[in-house]
Amino acid sequence: MTAIAERPVSTGRPPGPPEAASRAAESARGHLLALQDPAGWWKGELATNVTMDAEDLLLREFLGISDPRTVEQTARWIRSQQRADGTWATFHGGPAELSTTVEAYVALRLAGDRPKDAHMAGAAEWIRANGGLEATRVFTRIWLALFGLWSWDDLPAMPPELIFLPRQVPLNVYDWACWARQTVVPLTIVWHYKPSRPLPFGVDELRTGLVPGPAPDEDRISTFFRGLDRWLHRYEKRRIPVVRRAALRQAAEWIIARQEADGCWGGIQPPWVYSLMALHLMGYPMDHPVIRAGIAGLDGFVVREETAQGPTRRLEACQSPVWDTALSLVALADSGSGPQDAAYASGIDWLLGEEITVKGDWSVRRPALAPGGWAFEFANDGYPDTDDTAEILLALMRARNPDGEPVRERRIRAAMDRGLAWVEGMQSKDGGWGAFDADNTRTLINKLPFCDFGAVIDPPSADVTAHIVEAYAALGKGHSPAALRGVRWLLDHQEQDGSWFGRWGANHVYGTGAVVPALTAAGIAPSHPALRRATAWVIGHQNLDGGWGEDLRSYVDPAWIGRGDSTASQTAWALLALLSVAETPSAVTPELRAAIDRGVLYLAETQRPDGTWDEDLFTGTGFPGDFYINYHLYRLVFPLTALGRAVDFYSVAAHTADYDVVEST
């Protein structure tokens, strides 16, 4: 890696792409280094939507721990996110979303806002015009039922006996993705008790009186499950008490066994709140260590901010210090850091301390596999993931130092060996990798009546598989059988237009930006048809301003694929794809060179004076089509990575070609 050159003296004319890349990388690098925690880690905020905050207020009301200050500050935040038409969305600039708007409305009613207030009346009018409470998702209606605003009889059945199904039987809890199973198990306890704690108000102003029927295109499996749901409701009236008690006890034990050291469940909001409610309903007192730790842990996810209207309070749905630290280290390495640099070394040391050495739910399908790898969060030992582990392997590889202290070098090597062995063992049968589980691919579960809240399984995805293939290549194992199977999986899953679908980032720009570097690292030549098509797709979707962007609506509307306002993170993903192809000099056509130059100039021209970028648009994905994330550090680490690699590209290219300034339009 070429070190970032010192900033040259200004000549009075706009810098060309090579100089612009060097200057922008230097500034971004300085900003990133300043964000490192003294302990060695990095963490940016994960912004989501107001359902997190609405449900937090409702949870506190349900548990009887609400306080005026929390309600006031959270309500102020929820109001600040309302749009002119009275609605709330699931991502910045996105379309209005019914369930999100309903939950925000109910939370504001809880805070004392009145139906006749202009902002509330506007929301209610929109809700009624778009189907009312009757058209909301199941999880929203569960929240309503908790407070007597909806009938439990009109919700899908979720019997606790689900916990008894062996893993060989379809619909067992391990058929669900890890985030879904941790949500469903406590919900079965809540469904058993069917609590109703009335609020001092109703929400009849949100009803239409119409009951939605089955979807017109409902298939036979969905029809069967609707019939099964009716049978389960009848069974509920004749359930066997001893079996039900055993199911509740086993479900509660399952939940408690999965609480993390910081009090959370899975490091994410949904299983956290439902687990607290479930145990509370089972009779666990508020001062019980499990409940007390769970509630206290929520405070670590709170973001407070002073605004002109007063202090606000919002809740992160998740935190990503391990992921952010790995990405930051890769960015620093790509912009000139070496293993001897203090910031890099402290980051590596912190990551080494985060390695997971115990078995989790992943071992249900891989019982003989030794533990290894890393999770996403500060505390989530039960659920390491292959994506984080792959990025950390890339960072650890850069930390190897032949002249370094022998004990530390052996520690790094051993962690890499364990991590790679664990990742290899987590490969699915088809050659790809999911994030948290292997072979979590039974789609039957998607047909259940209460599965309307996003992704509920964790099948292999292109972005995760690509990161792992790239790690194999970096470790010199790109031709191992597992890596070759991963390469074949990627080639087989290229979209017809030449792109790849992005499961955990928005969307085809993210997927393609991950896969192309992985394939080139694995030895696939830029002349390969798959890479030629991918390169053409990336270049063909560059915006007039030189950047790239893709609106999150591309997950539900193909017309948005590859289209959207330019962002720093998505421009960086596109550049990473093009720069990886450009590592082969013969592949650098004038069209490719121009696209790289224009992308670099876009980043340089939109960079803030402090070295980072503004990025209000969400580019992270939780559940495609339903839940999205704005990773605040993405706007910095990915551009720095791309700019660092661009500096290398220009350094090599300077010996073989003259580069003219490409004016941005």
Residue 5 has pLDDT above 60, yes or no: no
Rounded to whole angstroms, the Cα distance separating 507 from 513 reads 10
Region 512-516: what's the mean pLDDT? 98
581 against 652, higher pLDDT = 581
Q: What is the pLDDT of residues 291-327, one digit of tens each?
A: 999 999 999 999 999 999 999 999 999 999 999 999 9
The answer to whether residues 652 and 1 touch, using CB atoms and an 8 Å cutoff, is no
CATH of domain 30-46+319-441+453-653: 1.50.10.20
* 3-class state of residue 184 by DSSP: helix
Q: What is the pLDDT of residues 252-295, one digit of tens each?
A: 999 999 999 999 999 898 899 999 999 999 999 999 999 999 99
Q: What is the pLDDT of residues 21-59, one digit of tens each?
A: 999 999 999 999 999 999 999 999 999 999 999 999 999
The confidence score (pLDDT) of residue 229 equals 87
Angle at 211 between CA 208 and CA 212, to 5 degrees: 115
Q: What is the pLDDT of residues 549-573, one digit of tens each?
A: 999 999 999 999 999 999 999 999 9
Q: What is the DSSP string of 127-140?
A: HHHTT-GGGS-HHH
Residue 111 has pLDDT above 60, yes or no: yes
Residue 402 has pLDDT above 90, yes or no: no
- Name the helix (H) or strand (E) containing 307: strand 302-307
Phi, psi of 268 (to 5 degrees): -135, 160
The confidence score (pLDDT) of residue 663 equals 39
The confidence score (pLDDT) of residue 447 equals 85
Residue 10 has pLDDT above 50, yes or no: no
Residue 655 has pLDDT above 80, yes or no: no
Percent residues over pLDDT 90 in the chain: 85
User: Among 120-129, 218-227, 388-397, where is mean pLDDT lowest?
Assistant: 218-227
The confidence score (pLDDT) of residue 564 equals 97
Q: Do domains 30-46+319-441+453-653 and 49-315 have the same CATH topology?
A: yes
Region 81-100: what's the mean pLDDT? 96
The confidence score (pLDDT) of residue 12 equals 60
The CATH number of domain 49-315 is 1.10.540.10: no
The confidence score (pLDDT) of residue 661 equals 39
Burial class (CB in 10 A: 0-12, 13-18, 19+), 309: exposed
| DSSP code, position 96 | B
The confidence score (pLDDT) of residue 454 equals 72
Domain range annotation of the chain = 30-46+319-441+453-653, 49-315
Region 130-158: what's the mean pLDDT? 96
Q: Which residues are catalytic?
A: 387
One-letter amino acid for residue 113 of the chain: D
Region 352-377: what's the mean pLDDT? 96
Residue 220 has pLDDT above 90, yes or no: no
Residue 251 has pLDDT above 80, yes or no: yes
Give 633's contacts (C-beta < 8 A, 6+ positions apart).
35, 42, 43, 44, 320, 324, 327, 328
Q: How many residues does the chain have?
A: 665
pTM (2 decimals)?
0.94
The confidence score (pLDDT) of residue 219 equals 84
Bridge partner list, 304? 313
Rounded to whole angstroms, the Cα distance separating 547 from 595 reads 9
Percent residues over pLDDT 70 in the chain: 97
The answer to whether residues 102 and 206 touch, using CB atoms and an 8 Å cutoff, is yes
Angle at 583 between CA 403 and CA 524, to 5 degrees: 100
Burial class (CB in 10 A: 0-12, 13-18, 19+), 511: buried
